[in-house]
Amino acid sequence: MDRKALTIDYCEYASLEEMPERERRLMVCAMESTHRAYAPYSKFHVGAAVLLADGTMVSGSNQENVAYPSGLCAERTALFSASAQHPELAVEALAVVGYFEGSYTEASPCGACRQAMAEYETRYGNKLTIFCYLKEGRIRRIEGVESLLPFGFDADL
Ligand code: THU
């Protein structure tokens, strides 16, 4: 038996101000999107924004339903909306942030959203850069879904 280990590389910005302008605008777009969430059940508002190959940004927010599993996370709302409107444009980056009880807060994509993000890397042949808003206004930057979803499912179908 071989014992193996993975290391996950990521960076953190101390604040929005430290981010390059284009990335900062993407995170601000995600922050604005939290205010369009429909989250009457959890009261946890999530905003996401994706950056497409030509610079277009598409936002999304969580959309809940009284039958809980019928709702959708902000990340997939943004990704599916971008893909439905601009199927020809590769998705290059995704930013996500939570908003709860009057403040922006940490949000990191759930497992199903990670799998959906991986699909766009396969589809367009490029890695996605993922930005997650953290506590105290820090921002995590991750290059590639593999760091969020090691050993994720794929198949040559
Ligand atoms: N949610 C997202 O929109 N994105 C995530 O990454 C995690 C969770 C939503 C689902 C639900 O509407 C609310 O946050 C509370 O779980």
pLDDT at residue number 154 = 87
pTM of the model: 0.96
Which residue of 38, 42, 73 sits with most ligand 1 atoms within 8 Å of its CB, as the best mutation to test the pocket?
73
Residue given tokens 């009261």 in the structure block: 43
Helices H / strands E in the chain, number of each: 3, 7
Kind of pairing between the strands at 91-100 and 45-52: antiparallel
User: Of 135, 42, 136, 145, which Cα lies nearest the Cα of 93?
Assistant: 145
60-84 residue pLDDT tens: 999 999 999 999 999 999 999 999 9
Question: What's the rounded Cα separation, in Å, for the pair 125 and 135?
Answer: 32
User: Which segments within the chain are labelled E, that is strand?
Assistant: 11-13, 45-52, 57-61, 91-100, 103-105, 129-133, 139-143
130-151 residue pLDDT tens: 999 999 999 999 999 999 999 9
Domains and CATH numbers, the chain: 10-147 (3.40.140.10)
Kind of pairing between the strands at 91-100 and 129-133: parallel
Chain-centroid distance of CA 91 in Å reads 11
Residues known to be catalytic:
75
Q: Which residue's alpha carbon is nearest to atom 8 within ligand 1?
A: 73
Pocket of ligand 1 (CB under 6 A): 39, 42, 44, 46, 62, 64, 71, 73-75, 107, 109-110, 113
Question: What's the rounded Cα separation, in Å, for the pair 102 and 106?
Answer: 13
